[in-house]
Amino acid sequence: MNTPLAETLSVLLLVAVLAFAVLRPKGLPEAVLAVPAAGLVIATGAISLDHAREEAARLGPVVGFLAAVLVLAHFCDVEGLFQACGAWMARRSAGSPGRLLGAVFVLASVITAVLSLDATVVLLTPVVFATAARAGVRARPHLYACAHLSNTASLLLPVSNLTNLLAFETSGLSFTRFALLMTLPWLVAIGAEYLVFRRFFAEDLRIAAQPSEPGETPELPLFALITVGCTLAGFAVASAVGVEPAWVAAAGALVLAGRSLVRRKATPLTVVRASSPAFLAFVLALGIVVRAVVDNGLADALDRIVPSGSGPLALLGVAVLAAVLANLINNLPAVLVLLPLTAAAGPGAVLAVLLGVNIGPNLTYAGSLATLLWRRIVHRHEHDVGLGEFTRLGLLATPAALVPAVAALWLSLQVVG
């Protein structure tokens, strides 16, 4: 296939795959179109078989890790971790909408960082909705916090987001150094988001609570907490000895899943379903389609505009470009496209890409798959989320978090090295 035709086909297929993922007609999995699209770019020669294999091999460990983390988060929920989180939020807020927002920010940030953004969107959002209802406060600020923090708060660890894993592999950093470099940007971005939320939802947060009868307080699931803590420690050790984080995540998932299987709270089929095999297939297929777009001209076009260097303005330029691209083609394709172009500039540029693709998606629904999933969950609870309101909040929060986070990253690079 000649280059112009291959470029046109790969771009059209990428747009179709992303549109299908956004709309999900009849609730069909994203993989329904993504897998045939990947097969088509290979069959037509828009991407060579060698490049397709190379991309699948590169994404394989990332997909394996994602599967393990999804299982780990699911069985943390089975153990009652998220119900305990809801009880803690209710106690911490004591009927105050403002204190509840602070509690949601703390929990959503920690859960996103440790158990990945999917846990915040899928498992914490319904708990926050129920907690707000019991507390008798407006749910809007707290639900939006789950959406924004599933993106922004995923900056901290290599295991917090699929985009982080890809950047981690490209950066050449150790697990510990990655976390050290991203701690200050993580804190700064979350703090900026919190200030924007306090102002944007000031009216909702002033309305007096009308709490319902308190429910039964669940016990803290110590086994799940210890397993998650050991898994996190395992990530740092594994990175030091060159072991893929997927193996550590798999060990943690096996411990919790095995406990539920022994206690007959789950079946092997439950474990398989918890790993979301259709979504894993979507990620692999999307990576191949994106590689076809990159091979057929996008990389050359972006290479001409990607800022070079590691100064603060260069890092800001990379982060802004990544944020714009994330909102145009979704953050996962954006990171797949930009990482090869910024790798030569060093870890600073790679981490700047991460700031853009993790904070930037708060601007639009289509910016990240997590936001799309959050929207479906909120609608399932019959809560209205307006496009205009989401966008207005994003226009305020995204630059307010992104710019100081880039400055914090530059400072971290000077201090940590």
**pLDDT tens digit sequence for 266-281:** 899 999 998 889 988 9
1 against 99, higher pLDDT: 99
Of these ranges, 31-35, 192-196, 306-310, the one predicted with the greatest mean pLDDT is 192-196
Residue 198: burial class (beta carbons within 10 Å; 0-12, 13-18, 19+): middle
- Among the listed ranges 119-123, 173-177, 230-234, 311-315, which one has the minimum average pLDDT value? 119-123
Average pLDDT over all residues of the chain: 88
Of these ranges, 104-118, 126-140, 402-416, the one predicted with the greatest mean pLDDT is 402-416
* pLDDT over threshold 60, residue 339: yes
Residue 239, pLDDT score: 78
Under 8 Å between Cβ of 150 and 117? yes
What is the C-alpha separation between 34 and 390, in angstroms, rounded? 27
118 against 407, higher pLDDT: 407
CA distances to 37, 42, 227, 294, 296 from 3, rounded to whole Å, are: 18, 14, 51, 12, 6
Q: What is the pLDDT of residues 55-96, one digit of tens each?
A: 898 888 888 888 898 899 889 889 988 888 888 888 877 778
What is the C-alpha separation between 124 and 108, in angstroms, rounded? 7
Q: How many CB atoms lie within 10 A of CB 209?
A: 17
Residue 93, pLDDT score: 77
Predicted confidence band at 301 (pLDDT cuts at 50, 70, 90)?
confident
Predicted confidence band at 122 (pLDDT cuts at 50, 70, 90)?
confident
Predicted confidence band at 8 (pLDDT cuts at 50, 70, 90)?
confident
Q: What is the pLDDT of residues 150-200, one digit of tens each?
A: 999 999 998 898 899 889 988 989 889 999 999 999 999 999 999 999 999
Residue 262, pLDDT score: 93
What is the C-alpha separation between 349 and 317, in angstroms, rounded? 10
Residue 130, pLDDT score: 84
**Average pLDDT for residues 197-222, to the nearest whole number?**
78
Residue 210, pLDDT score: 65
Closest CA to 351 of 117, 116, 157: 157
pTM of this structure = 0.84
Residue 219, pLDDT score: 79
Residues 6+ apart with CB under 8 A from 16: 33, 37
385 against 160, higher pLDDT: 160
